Structure 1
Amino acid sequence: MNMKMLTMGAMALAMMAGAAVAGSTSALDDPAKMSPFFTDAGMKTLRTEKDFKTAWMAMKPDEQKAVLKDCGDTTLNKSHAEFCAMAKKMGS
């Protein structure tokens, strides 16, 4: 009986942790925030440095911090490397 309760508790905890991780989102994956930095709807081609800077300056400081924080994550940075390089340049 105790083993069954421990197993059920561990499964419930694992499911809650998985849901918490799945629920976290990155500023880099928010199309509303990211689209001003790209020339295409698929968000594959960055704007010029001048246009990028204009879009960057239009962001609120806390949004800029969130983007730079996400760019510091090596997993997120891999899929957004070009954007993050430009964002880090603007943030320094």
Structure 2
Amino acid sequence: MTRKFLNASRLQDEVSRRIHRIHEVVEDGVKIRVPRPQLQEPDKTGCNWDMKHFGNAAGFERDIAAVLKAVRAEYNLSGEAKDLDSLFENFSGD
């Protein structure tokens, strides 16, 4: 399956949306902090990002892992994470 590309903010939002739709999370009224996806070399499945260190996630690790597995299978992180210096390459400070 070919993955679609999302930028970091949209990936973070998608993971958050799916986590906060899980029945137990809704039932417990928990707000889980979802970290920004981190670009990495593609793994054996071809996924080029990962997320670690979710906040307020105690007891929901298995659910979060299932969401991550599903989203990582659907999406790759777009190449927006460029070197910051390249953002100012054409900037003239005159």
Could you say which TM-score interval applies, normalised by the shorter chain?
under 0.3
Pick the structure with more helix per residue: 1
TM-score, normalization: structure 1? 0.27
User: Which protein is bigger by CA-based radius of gyration?
Assistant: 1
Pick the structure with more strand per residue: 2
Work out which structure has the larger RCO, using CA pairs closer than 8 Å and 6 or more positions apart in sequence. Answer: 2
TM-score, normalization: structure 2? 0.26
